[in-house]
């Protein structure tokens, strides 16, 4: 996926974050090799370590990016917790 499309996905997540009541962090990272990433962190006492995260990077396949993006939206909406599955 190109950086601009990934950035647009990140912008959508940020907009959803604004209206969420959850403790969510969304971070972007630009690697020197040209890859771009979006990292979602969710803090919740139900996690063993207190928080979990999901990440999208431009080197992932479009299918994997969109699957993770949909999962991120569900986490922000409070519909699911992040699991290892």
How is the chain split into domains, by residue range?
A: 3-76
Strands 36-43 and 51-57: antiparallel
Task: Name the residue among 37, 52, 40 with its Cα closest to residue 84.
Answer: 52
Q: Cβ atoms within 10 A of the Cβ of 63, count?
A: 8
Q: How confident is the model at residue 17 (pLDDT cuts 50, 70, 90)?
A: very high
Q: Which two tokens stand for residue 64?
A: 């994997």
CATH number for region 3-76: 3.30.160
User: pLDDT tens for residues 52-61?
Assistant: 999 999 999 9
User: pLDDT tens for residues 36-73?
Assistant: 999 999 999 999 999 999 999 999 999 999 999 999 99
The answer to whether the pTM exceeds 0.75 is yes
Which residues partner with 29 through β-bridges? Answer: 37
Q: How confident is the model at residue 85 (pLDDT cuts 50, 70, 90)?
A: low
Q: Which two tokens stand for residue 72?
A: 């991120």
């Amino acid at each position: 996926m190109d950086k601009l499309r990934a950035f647009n996905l990140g912008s959508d997540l940020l907009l959803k974050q604004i209206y969420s009541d959850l403790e969510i962090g969304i971070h972007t990272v630009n690697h020197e090799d040209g890859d771009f990433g979006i990292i979602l962190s969710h803090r919740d006492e139900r996690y063993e370590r207190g928080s979990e995260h999901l990440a999208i990077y431009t080197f992932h396949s479009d299918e994997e990016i969109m699957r993770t993006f949909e999962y991120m939206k569900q986490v922000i909406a409070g519909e699911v917790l992040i699991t290892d599955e």
